[in-house]
Amino acid sequence: MRGALLIAAAVLLGAGLLANGFRDDHSILSDSGSTTAPKKSTTTAPTASTAVQAHDPAQVKVLVLNGSGKAGVAKAGADVLKAANYTTLEPSNAKGGTVATSVVYFVPGYDADAATVTAKLGLPASAAQPLPTPPPAAVADPKDAYIVVLVGSDAPIAGGAGASTTSSTSPTTAATATTAPAN
């Protein structure tokens, strides 16, 4: 199941990057005019690299906050990300109590990384959202994190709805997800 999630995340990232690359091509043509057509090919490669915006996980600081109301969920989430080589800050509890829906907030330039983190935690792609200014009350202080994961009661690692989908697909994965919060 983990391999399938990684493949799905890679396909989604690739499709998004490809779409961004095409959008960037059009803006270069309209800005440069037809006289710089040879430069368009040269410019496209760096633009595509810029559009990627995926960073080495070791350079991405992630803060995991538990808003599920269940003990150990933030640590379990941080452990999943740490195993994927992300730099995790000290996991903590969300401010203000239980949160029903998980959100993966990201600062500008880290949207591709947020999509990967979202997939690794078994959350829907729609969970990735830009971090608003000021941060939501549940987050309070994002510290110096590039990505803040607010784990709600819907998260698979919290035993939420996503966990039942995982268990019907792969009982072994569900057992692993259930065991992780106990650690």
Query: Where does residue 71 fall: left (phi above 0), alpha (psi -120 to 50 degrees), or beta otherwise?
Result: beta
Instruction: Tell me how far CA of residue 117 lies from CA of 35, 43, 45, 96, 99, in angstroms.
Output: 42, 30, 26, 24, 19
Q: Which of 129, 132, 123 is nearest to 151 (CA)?
A: 123
Q: In whole angstroms, what is the distance from residue 170 CA to residue 162 CA?
A: 12
Whole-model pTM: value is: 0.62
Write out the two tokens for 153.
């009661």
Query: Which band of pLDDT confidence, cut at 50, 70 and 90, is reported for residue 49?
Result: very low
Q: In whole angstroms, what is the distance from residue 98 CA to residue 93 CA?
A: 9
Query: Which band of pLDDT confidence, cut at 50, 70 and 90, is reported for residue 10?
Result: low
Query: Which band of pLDDT confidence, cut at 50, 70 and 90, is reported for residue 15?
Result: low
Q: What per-residue confidence (pLDDT) applies to 21? A: 56
